[in-house]
Amino acid sequence: MRPLEEAQRQVLETVRVLPVVETALADCLGLVLAEDVRATHPIPPFDNSAMDGYAVRAADVEAVPVTLTVVEDVAAGRAPDRSVGSGEAIKIMTGAPMPPGADTVIRVEDTEQAGDRVTISVGAPAGTSVRRAGGDIAAGAMVAQAGTRLGPNHLGVLASVGAARPRVYRRPTVAVLSTGDEVVPYETAELAPGQIRGTNGLVLVSVLRELGVEVLDLGIVGDNADELRAALARGSREADAIVTSGGVSMGEYDLVKAVLGELGGVEFWQVAMQPGKPFAFGIIDGTPLFGLPGNPVSVFVAFEQFVRPALLHMMGSPRLFRPHLPAVLDEAVSTNPAKTVFVRVAVTWEDGRARASTSGGQDSNVLSALAAADALAVIPVGIGDVPAGGAVSLEMFRYPEDRGLSGP
Ligand code: AMP
Ligand code: MG
């Protein structure tokens, strides 16, 4: 049985970073930039108005009220034809270029127009409500650094400088396979004796989508070596990684490890963690296989500890693990000191600090307690018991506010 950290290190040393490809910006959400992107021109590209109002000379509005002659209207998207002379104003919309001669903008709320005359009731020093060229990003400035995992706002900023096809690490395709003779599609209305609705496939497909990878759903196969061989061979041909659930324990029908050994190689099996101990890791024709246990909570915990960091590594991310948040445990927990234990907890905030309490039963089949949890409280090897009020470290996978309920 391997210590968790050693097993994680071995996985990360084995999986390879995917190639870099130029990709249309609209397909880059969640991908990692492989190059620094700099602005080829300033943003905004030209001086423009921050308000709907009148572009004027500040010197003309030092004493108010004052009446000026409106010589032109400039909407956003148009360039002014004229400049603003002394005693003149140009009606201007937000985002429209500043006309030459004008150095300030009077908000429309502080004006009254009649015909081509506008009376200004509140003055404004030079530069008021003017957005300068380069005020957001100077020409040549860094817009996004290599290693940035692109979120919606990064895409926006890259679009603004015309970086329409950045170089990013390719998006991985991950094959998902559930195993078990008892597992039937979750859409099944009536269960025969001994059957259960498969939940692991759906949960895995969903966490993978959330991570931003392409999913190849291989469905469910029974505990049958031939079917398993065919599915894993397909996964290794068509995907960059394979994630399976079930079939890696000590049972007579636990065939995933045997077939993995036959088609490729088992790198290691069993990790000193709870839940998730029977986790198996191997390679088939260069494709890493993450053999998750069958119990639904073990699936999620092993996914978080192995699959998520490995995929982020393949995607070129320099940041692989969730940040650890210090918290106070509300109640005593007693765990196995020989393993790294992940306690499923719900989080509440008290004076801005996190408090954690168990979100339900802690057996590895209790999916409802995982659904009620916001975080995994990590109890490292050698600790065992944590008293009520004791300090723990949280790996948060959700804000408690997003749960929609005040508590479990
Ligand atoms: P195994 O590791 O194959 O022995 O499975 C361990 C436990 O997880 C058994 O109780 C299985 O019935 C259950 N299990 C396996 N696969 C799934 C699945 N896809 N969805 C829900 N439970 C499962
Ligand atoms: Mg099974």
Residue after which a domain boundary falls, among 153, 169, 185? 169
CA 112, CA 125: separation in Å to the nearest integer? 19
Same domain (yes/no): 160, 264: no
Centroid of ligand 1 to alpha carbon of 359 (angstroms): 21
Give the per-residue pLDDT at 253.
83
**Of 179, 186, 200, which is best to mutate to test ligand 1, by the most ligand atoms within 8 angstroms of its C-beta?**
200
Same domain (yes/no): 151, 205: no
Same domain (yes/no): 212, 289: yes
CA 346, CA 403: separation in Å to the nearest integer? 10
Reported in sequence order, the residue ranges of 124-172 that DSSP labels E, i.e. its strands, are: 130-131, 142-144, 167-169
Same domain (yes/no): 217, 241: yes
Same domain (yes/no): 197, 215: yes
> Residue 407 falls within a domain, yes or no?
no
Q: Which 3 state secondary structure label does DSSP give 71? A: strand
Same domain (yes/no): 338, 310: no
> Residue 236 falls within a domain, yes or no?
yes
Which residue range(s) make up the domain with 368?
A: 324-396
> Residue 402 falls within a domain, yes or no?
no
Centroid of ligand 1 to alpha carbon of 376 (angstroms): 21
Centroid of ligand 1 to alpha carbon of 217 (angstroms): 17
Centroid of ligand 1 to alpha carbon of 321 (angstroms): 27
294 touches ligand 1 (CB under 6 Å) = yes
Give the per-residue pLDDT at 24.
98
Same domain (yes/no): 82, 196: no
Centroid of ligand 1 to alpha carbon of 239 (angstroms): 23
Centroid of ligand 1 to alpha carbon of 241 (angstroms): 21
Q: Per-residue pLDDT tens, the chain, 408 aa: give them.
A: 999 999 999 999 999 999 999 999 999 999 999 999 999 999 999 999 999 999 999 999 999 999 999 999 998 899 999 999 999 999 999 999 999 999 999 999 999 999 999 999 999 999 999 999 999 999 999 999 999 999 999 999 999 999 999 999 999 999 999 999 999 999 999 999 999 999 999 999 999 999 999 999 999 999 999 999 999 999 999 999 999 999 999 888 899 999 999 999 999 999 999 999 999 999 999 999 999 999 999 999 999 999 999 999 999 999 999 999 999 999 999 999 999 999 999 999 999 899 999 999 999 999 999 999 999 999 999 999 999 999 999 999 999 988 876 544
> Residue 403 falls within a domain, yes or no?
no
Give the per-residue pLDDT at 199.
98
> Residue 227 falls within a domain, yes or no?
yes
Give the per-residue pLDDT at 408.
46
Is the Cα torsion angle 72, 45, 161, 135 positive or negative in sign?
A: negative
Is 248:257 a contact under the CB 8 Å cutoff?
yes
Q: Of ligand 1's atoms, which has the minimum distance to the CA of residue 179? A: 16
276 touches ligand 1 (CB under 6 Å) = no
Question: Looking at the 3D structure of the chain, how many domains does it have?
Answer: 4
Strands 340-350 and 353-358 turn out to be antiparallel
Same domain (yes/no): 165, 189: no
Same domain (yes/no): 149, 245: no
Same domain (yes/no): 152, 93: no
Residue after which a domain boundary falls, among 107, 131, 155? 131
Is the Cα torsion angle 259, 261, 265, 271 positive or negative in sign?
A: positive
Helix then strand count (H, E) for the chain reads: 8, 28
> Residue 24 falls within a domain, yes or no?
no
CATH number of the domain at 365, please: 2.40.340.10
- The candidate with the shortest Cα–Cα distance to 178, out of 282, 263, 248, is 248
> Residue 319 falls within a domain, yes or no?
no
Supply the residue whose CA is at minimum distance from atom 16 of ligand 1. 294
CATH number of the domain at 56, please: 2.170.190.11
Q: Of ligand 1's atoms, which has the minimum distance to the CA of residue 178? A: 19
Is 91:70 a contact under the CB 8 Å cutoff?
yes
Neighbours of ion ligand 2 (CB under 5 A): 180, 246-247, 294
Q: What's the predicted TM-score (pTM) here?
A: 0.93
Give the per-residue pLDDT at 252.
85
Residue after which a domain boundary falls, among 265, 296, 314? 314
Is 143:16 a contact under the CB 8 Å cutoff?
no
> Residue 95 falls within a domain, yes or no?
yes
CATH number of the domain at 237, please: 3.40.980.10
Same domain (yes/no): 183, 294: yes
- The candidate with the shortest Cα–Cα distance to 354, out of 377, 372, 327, is 327
Same domain (yes/no): 308, 177: yes
